[in-house]
Amino acid sequence: MTTQRQRTTYPPIAGTPGDVYEQHIVPAIFSRWAPDLVDAAGVRQGARVLDVACGTGAVTRIVAQRVGPSGKVVGLDVNAGVLAVARTAAPASNIQWLEGNAASIALPDASFDAVVCQQGLQFFPDRPAGLAEMRRVLKPGGRLALSCWLSVKHQPWIAIEQALAKRIGAEQAALPPFGLGDAPSIRSLLANAGFRDIRLRTDAKPARFHSSEHLMRATVAGSVTMMGQLTSQGPGVLDAIVAEVSEALRDFEDDDGVALPIVSHIFTASA
């Protein structure tokens, strides 16, 4: 039987949002998906690969292993804070960390064999420009692999959005990671950017946290925006949300914590 201690005990949540992301969100979610994306990109030894919106480097680190010492991977992100964490987490000689905007990538044309982007496109202020830049830096015939979560309305994660909406309103509660779940829209964006041989696979994996409380508190602490919104609501608001979300996700609990399914599109295309 699962004990209350098993459901509520989890590693301390501390440090910057980038630290929380790397220590709690990456192992629970992104490290589980990263190998699939790298496989989809067809990354081989000796290749040059660009990881767009690399975050703290969950995908970048796997690419670095795959390309080996004769290859190179560039991890690009607009957020200096997550790149600082990435540099500490993965001090490999074949990784270059680059701060920059996906809509204006400061790298030469046709300089990469593959481009990967794990759950980043939905955050781009200018998605067409970002995809056009990915196309530009790919060598002719180079391969793109990117992933986007399905809409939250198709995911049990909607319990979080609903609990937030009661406290901060529906518009503020919308979860940006689930903001681009429509496959035809993504396909159209890729085609308009000049990509060809566009293919789609949709898959599901469990996000594994120590508990629903761990999931919720790590999610909030890993987001500067969400933390600010909830802090402004006064003390006790986060505790109330944690309690509501924990009750809503009870069916996903097991002896190891909570395993919350999450569904993603994985697109591949050629330059």
Residue with tokens 């898959």: 203
pTM over 0.85: yes
**% pLDDT > 90, the chain:** 81
Residue with tokens 């390309």: 67
- Cβ neighbours around 145 below 10 Å, total: 24
Task: Give pLDDT, residue 6.
Answer: 45
Residue 234 has pLDDT above 90, yes or no: no
Average pLDDT over residues 126-147: 99
Domain count, the chain: 1
- 3-state SS of 17-75? HHHHHHHHHHHHHHHHHHHHHHHHCCCCCCCEEEEECCCCCHHHHHHHHHHCCCCEEEE
Domain coverage including residue 198:
4-270
CATH code at position 98: 3.40.50.150
**% pLDDT > 70, the chain:** 97
pLDDT (tens digit, 9 = 90+) per residue, 3-41? Answer: 444 455 888 899 999 999 999 999 999 999 999 999 999
pLDDT (tens digit, 9 = 90+) per residue, 176-218? Answer: 999 999 999 999 999 999 999 999 999 999 999 999 999 999 9
- Cβ neighbours around 123 below 10 Å, total: 16
Q: Which amino acid is at 76?
A: L
Average pLDDT over residues 75-94: 94
What span, in angstroms and rounded, lies between the C-alpha atoms of 77 and 55?
Answer: 6
